[in-house]
Structure 1
Amino acid sequence: MKLAIISGTTLPGGGPRHIYSLLESIDRKKWDIIVCTHKDGSYWNKLVALGITPYDLVLRRLSFFTFLELFKILIKEKPDLIHTHGKGPGVYGRLIGWILRIPVVHTFHGFQYKLLPFLNKLFYLIVENILTLLTQHHIFVSDGEKRKAKILKFLNDSNSSVINNGIDLEFFENLASAEDAFAEQGLRSSEEIKVFGTLSRVSPEKGITTLLEGFSEAKKVAPHIRLIIVGDCPNEHQEYLKTARQYIYKNGLDEVVKILGSRPDALGFLKCIDFYVSPSKSEGLPYNIIEALAVGIPVVATDIPGNNDIIRKSVEGLLIPVNSARSLAHGLLSLLEMGEEECQAMVQNGKVRIRNQFSLNQMLEKTFSLYQKVLEGSD
């Protein structure tokens, strides 16, 4: 059997991470793999290391020439199943799958239409409703995302499933610390210093500027706190990164806030920080919160679909209103003031929840079973 994976990017993020986890574990004796994606990030070389040579296509922008190029590739490769990921790849792959009579599974890594301008939102929903009719099965990475997608008229429980993102629990139990790299940042100058951290792409939907504003407010009350942000910034959001850095400079936070960019040892920083914070405005099902809970770090996160599919309020972590610097400041201070017993209870609850609902094995088993079901239904 041959599987075609169609994705928009190889930059670090939830979608590429999800795809890599699938392909790293899939039975290569049973499945031949082709990947169509863009050579714009570190996951490209990771795919090559798996013995996969991807086709380099810019699929996040709609183009008739890109459509033709992908069409020719799929005619040549003759896959038995197409699995698309994200908006642009989903448009191309589902249309071509319908034309070539190839069954298609589509994964939404976040059904994020509410932040779009009105006309863009209307166009997106019309197109997505049409594409729903051309898709054999839809995967949502969280229950919250599936609830948002109920606006799609032709989506139902028979043609859609929730398969949570999952992580390798053993890997995180034995995760190596990035202690030396962390020490180089000079944030923990004394034992009383408490460091908040986030592993996040620097872009508007991740709420980084709101985090900076909230942190600045919290620091007025708790001057011993620090903040570290580890993650890349896409080219289209360089102005946003510039705005964030300007805020840090203008508010005299240069010595207490560090934006490090993308790093190969990013996960190791989870072993160095005291608290994890997620200020996102929208998410699918964020790996970073799953990872923080697996490592055993107290978490404060915005109360949005995706985040609140992982964290139950005051059970595995703290949930705060979205897009509010004041609420973020309150959340940071609440973690600082929390008693040791309550804090440890949340940490233990988090580890149990990740083990029970967000393991890599569960994600793989459900996805590969779905592939088989879709293929059997297309016979």
Structure 2
Amino acid sequence: MRVLHTSDWHVGRTFHGRDLLAEQEAVLGSLADLVADEQVDVVVVSGDLYDRAVPSAEAVDACTRVLGAISAAGARIVITPGNHDSAPRLGAFAGFAAAGGLYLRTTIAELHRPVLIPDEHGPVAFYGIPYLEPELARHALDDLELRGHAAVLGEAMRRITRDLATRQARSVVLAHAFVIGGEASDSERTISVGGVPHVPAGLFDGVDYAALGHLHGPQTLAEHLRYSGSPIAYSFSEARQRKSVWLVDLDARGLAGVERRELPVPRALGTLRGDLTELLSDPVLETEVDKFLSIELTDVVRPLDAMRRLRERFPHALHLDWRPEGGRPIARRYTEAVRGRTDEEVACCFVADTRNSAPTESERALLREALAAVAGKEPE
């Protein structure tokens, strides 16, 4: 059997306010081609199918089209929810969906009951572990003594291995968790709720393959224990990652091999640094025009309307920082900054601290007018 390990689709996510549905559907749509070209039998999504517990209608439509294309290409699909998903909403009509080859494993109390999919060597048991928020999970698992992520996931795996021992089957576990040894990026939402979020890798011993979700960079913790990562980048910290999926082969004895397949990049990420004039005029930067950009301005004085001017050349600039050469003045406590100063002096100091340049005479006149209007008297 050939399994395609994916996770963290986050359909409906924005990137610094930019809608990504078109880019997401382009990349996820390529999974159907991969299914057909590589003769994939099962596609798994290990959590965070959507970016929100209540996804938009547009996100649901896009996800439905992608899942439909994967199914039409010949694969069955197994999905478990992550910390961004609403498990009850994702699992609605699960019984009906299974008849069409879409298996939604969203119930904590039933995580030890696998989806059994046969091949020429017999059945493969797919166990879906939904994201386990410790306080909720210990009630769903009917064991109030469980405390923390490691404890609830450990109990989940005990139940799975106990069930697996009663079957003559190979096994694939889908889990959405932060496993020790994994490397995080800036785009994952923390799953720590009053305790340590990490869980030991040894919890997944005894299964043929553990398809992990939550961390957005593809990584291998052990031959049978991997993160596929997100299909596209959701933070500039992922700029150097090559997004990919894992092709997992199972033979009669279990895990036979794992291969990586890189995904298309709908729009590359880039970072630029320099003063505004240089960035707007340097011909070398023409190669950056079509990228999503994070830009750091080094002008000594904060330029006016900088993002608008940058977007005239770089239409996909998304993030802007101002870090002047030589640094900014050391910030003082509010009480120290205003002590012994007139209202006009306080306003002028605020302008100077904000842009690293004192207000001009015409700007001072405007400040005096504004202060006089607030005080209800004529400016001096």
Structure 1-normalised TM-score?
0.31
Structure 2-normalised TM-score?
0.31
Larger Rg: 2
The structure with the largest helix share of the pair is: 1
Greater relative CO (CA pairs within 8 A, separation 6+)? 1
